[in-house]
Amino acid sequence: MVKNIIDVKNLSKSFDISSKEPGLKGTIKHFFRRQTKSLKVIKDISFEIKEGEIVGFLGANGAGKTTILKMLCGLIYPSEGSILVSGYLPFRRKENFLKNITLIMGQKQQLIWDLPPIESFYLNASIYDLDKFEAKKRIKKLSEMLEIDEELFIPVRKLSLGQRMKSELLAALIHEPNILFLDEPTLGLDINAQRNLRKFLQKYNNETNATICLTSHYMKDITSLCKRVICVHEGAISYDGKLDLLLKKLSPVKEILIVCRTEEDAIKLENSGFTVKNKIKNEITIKIENNSITSSLKTILNNFDIEDLFINEPPIDEVIGKVLIKKDYVI
């Protein structure tokens, strides 16, 4: 049985937030009498993650995804509840715990700006107490996986965003952590760079069985990497389960565009009891429930003269978007 590597129970986090009225008057008032209020950003959440799992955290901006990740890696103290990561209390930041994890943030960088990435790698290697030989071996292996070579010797400030992100990943993985926390790792990258990064993460997971917790606003990152998603809405978990189940639940119907041989066939099909979305000449779009697609298509192909047909998946961003704004999607 695969063991749990992350165990979160009744976790809550509150922050003191100050608010300011607009204008000069508001600024002066804010300066002398700052009004703060306690805001509960994470509300009593519980979940478990198994070793080797890749879990995507989904949620709108400000939903609390990054706060959850930061509590899991021990950067922020929880206000209530308990977290166990790899058997450790994260906020104690014990050396052995830190050697097991890594955090990669798409919008922040740890590489030394004026020097080539290789210098940052060796610095990190010394922090993780790796000898030169071992560090060299790991840099070689990871750079091959990430397909970077010459970039290692070019100052970071002269690298493209994609090359920099790959180098960031290498710097963050040199100690071969078991748990990866990734906060929007593909932010700002072009499509090819995004795809390469996803390919790398999948490969890393396959080869090392590392657990990956990922937040991203790019749905492609989530759909190609995560079988399981945790949806966060206003600090609470609105869905925790398989991604395909969520998609089925959110989008129970598929649209099928059927091109009939003649307009008469299209009219016949229109009147045959299917839910019709629209009809233009010999082209007709019908809606069929996911669980009856095979049987419905069989009926259509047997009874009508069909030239072509297309099954349209609803755009995943649109489908997931629904879960980000509603709280009661609990399956």
Partner 1 sequence: MNLRKYLKVYKKFLHTSLASELEYKTNILVDLITAILSLVGSIFLLSIFFQNSGYIGGWKFEQALIIQGIYTILNGITNTWFNPNLTEIVKHIREGTLDFVLLKPIDSQFFISLKKINPSGFLEIMLGFLLLFFCIRINQINLNLSFLTLSLITISCSICILYSLWFFISTTTIWFVKTWNATEVLRSFLYIGRFPLSSFSFSLRIFFSVFIPIAFITTIPSEVFLGLSVFWKILLEIIVATIFLINSRKFWLFALKFYSSASS
Contact residues toward partner 1 (CB under 8 A) are: 15, 66, 70, 73-77, 93, 95-96, 98-99, 101-103, 105, 107-110, 112-115, 119-120, 122-124, 126-129, 155, 183-184
Report the alpha-carbon distance of residue 317 to residue 314 in Å, rounded.
9
Report the alpha-carbon distance of residue 93 to residue 72 in Å, rounded.
11
Comparison of 103 and 300: residue with beta carbon closer to partner 1: 103
The minimum distance between CB 43 and partner 1, in angstroms, equals 17
The secondary structure of the chain, three-state, reads CCCEEEEEEEEEEEEEEECCCCHHHHHHHHHHCCCEEEEEEEEEEEEEEECCCEEEEECCCCCCHHHHHHHHCCCCCCCEEEEEECCECHHHCCHHHHCCEEEEECCCCCCCCCCCHHHHHHHHHHHCCCCHHHHHHHHHHHHHHHCCCHHHHCCHHHCCHHHHHHHHHHHHHCCCCCEEEEECCCCCCCHHHHHHHHHHHHHHHHHHCCEEEEECCCHHHHHHHCCEEEEEECCEEEEEEEHHHHHHHHCCEEEEEEEECCHHHHHHHHCCCCEEEEEECCEEEEEEEHHHHHHHHHHHHHHCCEEEEEEECCCHHHHHHHHHHCCCCCC
The minimum distance between CB 177 and partner 1, in angstroms, equals 10
Report the alpha-carbon distance of residue 59 to residue 45 in Å, rounded.
14
The minimum distance between CB 98 and partner 1, in angstroms, equals 4
The minimum distance between CB 76 and partner 1, in angstroms, equals 6
The minimum distance between CB 315 and partner 1, in angstroms, equals 25
Comparison of 135 and 288: residue with beta carbon closer to partner 1: 135
The minimum distance between CB 28 and partner 1, in angstroms, equals 18
Report the alpha-carbon distance of residue 160 to residue 167 in Å, rounded.
11
Comparison of 136 and 227: residue with beta carbon closer to partner 1: 136
Comparison of 86 and 124: residue with beta carbon closer to partner 1: 124
Comparison of 35 and 312: residue with beta carbon closer to partner 1: 35
Comparison of 115 and 293: residue with beta carbon closer to partner 1: 115
The minimum distance between CB 253 and partner 1, in angstroms, equals 36
The minimum distance between CB 195 and partner 1, in angstroms, equals 23
Report the alpha-carbon distance of residue 161 to residue 67 in Å, rounded.
25
The minimum distance between CB 32 and partner 1, in angstroms, equals 16
Comparison of 60 and 245: residue with beta carbon closer to partner 1: 60
Comparison of 107 and 271: residue with beta carbon closer to partner 1: 107
Under 8 Å CB-to-CB from 169, ≥6 apart: which residues? Answer: 104, 142, 146, 185, 197, 200
Comparison of 37 and 93: residue with beta carbon closer to partner 1: 93
